Structure 1
Amino acid sequence: MVKLDVITTRGGDGGETSLGDGTRLRKDALRVEAYGTVDEANAALGLVRLHTGADVAVDAMLSRIQNELFDVGADLCVPGEAGARLRVADTQSLRLEAEIATMNAALPPLRSFVLPAGCPAAAHAHLARTIVRRAERLAVALAAQEEVNAAVIRYLNRLSDHLFVLSRHLNAAAGGDVVWVPGATRGR
């Protein structure tokens, strides 16, 4: 169980932080960048939730995903397969896939790329998607140097897809996607 009774420890004042196993690392280490970016994505999802309002089903999905992102961070903050107390599992990615399929089934087919815009909830979902993609890139880079649970990378990949389809779902309820018009401003 987590117990946070002292928040200001001054332990990071020298530019280092402690991992979940007590190992000290520089705050700009790739592992810290990876789980820090997961935290950033989680905060962006909090903004999406501010704008989903009465959509209880979407809010429940996002609440679960925010909790799962803490699982991802916990997984990333403990190096090595044996040391982690909490590991992301592929069942979490499979749940995302099922939700993607359900949301996508109700959407019209895409005829163009979608711009990251639309209603406030969708625009924030697009922002969260791009942050998740960055977290995924960092996790992949980390995996090239150290052991990383492969389920973390699969989860982040699936989550970015989920957030793309969620943004389309949210925009569908608000008038539709904002689509890319190739070359629309040439010659102006």
Structure 2
Amino acid sequence: MVVLNKIYTRTGDAGETALGDGSRVSKHSLRVRAYGTVDELNSVVGIARLHAEGDPDEALARIQNDLFDLGADLCRPDMARDSDAEYAPLRMVPSQTERLESEIDAMNGRLEPLRSFILPGGTPLAAYLHQCRTVARRAERHVIELATMEGVNEAAVIYLNRLSDWFFVAARISNDEGRADVMWVPGANR
């Protein structure tokens, strides 16, 4: 159980922060950059939810919760020592990605195939979902970079990869099931 009774602690004033296992690292470390970008993504999802109602909002709420799970996973290094932890660390699991895939398949079944690339935009919800997609891709790049140097849960990487696909398809659904997508016209302004 998390208890936050004091927001500022002054322990990070020298440029370090504590990870989930209690170790301290620089605030510019790859691990902090990775889970910090996941936190940024969660904030953008919150903005997208301002324009969502019904099913899209419920799905985005589930994703926000998954993103907190993902941040908890990423802030806890050294998965090999999970069994030594006082309590079981929260890790991403394949079923979270499987749920995204099922939702992608259901949404994609409502769309005509793309015959051109699309530009981010259309409805406000679609535009924010495209922003979510690009922030998810940046988070994925940071997590993959981290994985080249330290242990990272493979399920976390796969979840982020699939999540950006989810945002892309959801943006198309939000654009009148693709009918209001903004098409790229190659060389249109030459």
TM-score normalised to structure 2 length? 0.94
- Residue 71 of structure 1, CA deviation: 0.3
C-alpha contact 1:107 1:172 (8 A) present in aligned 2: no
> How big is each residue's C-alpha offset from its partner over 1:146-165, in whole Å with a ceiling of 9 and x where there is no partner?
00000000000000000000
Match for residue 116 of structure 2? Answer: 112
- Letter of the aligned partner of 2:185 in structure 1? V
The answer to whether structure 1 residue 159 and structure 2 residue 163 are counterparts is: yes
> How big is each residue's C-alpha offset from its partner over 1:5-36, in whole Å with a ceiling of 9 and x where there is no partner?
11111111111110011110100000000000
Identity of aligned residues (%): 56
CA RMSD of aligned residues (A): 1.1
- Residue 175 of structure 1, CA deviation: 5.0
Q: Quick one: distance in 2 between partners of 1:31 and 1:174?
A: 37
- Letter of the aligned partner of 1:94 in structure 2? E
Q: Quick one: distance in 2 between partners of 1:109 and 1:174?
A: 9
C-alpha contact 2:112 2:178 (8 A) present in aligned 1: no
Which of structure 1's runs of 4+ aligned residues deviate more than 4 A? none
Match for residue 85 of structure 2? Answer: none
Match for residue 50 of structure 1? Answer: 50
Q: Which runs of 5+ in 1 are unaligned?
A: none
- More deviation, 152-161/10-19: 10-19
CA 95–174 in structure 1, closer or farther in 2 if over 3 Å, else same: closer
TM-score normalised to structure 1 length? 0.95
The answer to whether structure 1 residue 183 and structure 2 residue 183 are counterparts is: no
- Residue 42 of structure 1, CA deviation: 0.4
* Aligned residue among 146, 149, 161 for 1:145: 149
The number of aligned residues is: 184
SS in 1 for 2:119: coil
C-alpha contact 2:172 2:178 (8 A) present in aligned 1: no
> How big is each residue's C-alpha offset from its partner over 1:40-62, in whole Å with a ceiling of 9 and x where there is no partner?
0000000110011xx31111100
- Letter of the aligned partner of 1:70 in structure 2? F
C-alpha contact 2:111 2:178 (8 A) present in aligned 1: no
C-alpha contact 1:119 1:174 (8 A) present in aligned 2: no
C-alpha contact 1:38 1:73 (8 A) present in aligned 2: yes
SS in 1 for 2:113: coil
